[in-house]
Amino acid sequence: MQWTRETRAFVLLILVTMIWAGLLPTGKVALRGIPPLTIAAIRMVIGSTFLFLYARRDPVNKVPWSPPLVATFVILGFFGYFVSVGCTYYGLRQTTVTNAALLNAASPATLALLSAVLLKEWLPLQTFAGIGLSIIGVGIIITKGSWQVISQSQYNPGDLIMLGTIMSWGFYTIYARRLMERISPLAVTTYTYISGAFFLLVTSSFMEWQTWEPTHTSLGSWAAIAYQTSMGTLAHFWFVDAVATIGPSRAGVFLNLVPVMAIALAVSLLHEPLTIPHLVGGTVVIGGIVLAARR
């Protein structure tokens, strides 16, 4: 049977969804033996190497280097990968995969809100309503649906860190998109990856390597790191390929399945509890995203 380009794109997107859904659960496993910034550094260094080797093969990805452009890559790498990816592992160490997945589901609403604030983009009333609904859903998840958490400020630090990483990723996405109007998306991703990898490598070497014993790290943690670096990078290539075939809007629909599949993995493999606030908050978040995305 000969597949069409669209059929191949949809198959790739299914694989990407499954792989990205596994990043949070395997991240939790890796954290059992490896410090958070070190995990991010290993993942980003290997990933940026693959991206660089792949991008340099195509003349389309050539970059018109200048000092301001280098500074832009450094800033985007800091917020997009050092803060967002590095701190995600810090947050994941203190919260559950279920919470992290549900909070990440609010990323589209966060991105729309940041676009309105930073770029002064006009948003329809319906979109604002969807953003508001998603924020309510996030509040239910963070507070566990309890007024006591609010009144006594008993928030899980990991949940708050995850929210911060989502905001940082939103900042990166907005300004990286503007840069991609002048430079190929793969080139922008590659050089911001390299920038983020540099920050993570330097910071983790000062903060974590003196206390980390690689020889005492379990095989399970190393296997989780291998999954994050190899499959996570391959999934990125496949996603770019699929977007080029069917467009970002149709490809983006598949990303809504990532939190659902991540939670399923967390419940089945890590035996995390799935509570009523999770179900209610997650439903409200997804409902808000659907409302905000309607035209």
Per-residue pLDDT tens listing for the chain (295 residues): 556 777 888 888 888 888 888 999 999 999 999 999 999 999 899 888 988 888 888 787 788 899 999 999 999 999 989 999 899 999 999 999 988 888 887 777 777 778 777 777 777 778 778 778 877 878 788 777 666 665 556 678 888 899 899 889 888 888 888 888 888 888 888 999 999 999 999 999 999 988 888 888 899 999 999 998 888 777 877 776 777 677 655 666 677 778 888 888 888 988 888 888 888 888 887 787 777 666 5
Which pTM was predicted?
Answer: 0.84
The number of distinct structural domains making up the chain is: 1
State how far the Cα of 279 lies from the Cα of 162, in Å rounded to an integer.
19
252: nearest Cα among 193, 205, 282, 292? 292
State how far the Cα of 173 lies from the Cα of 49, in Å rounded to an integer.
21
Q: For residue 18, give its domain range.
A: 5-293
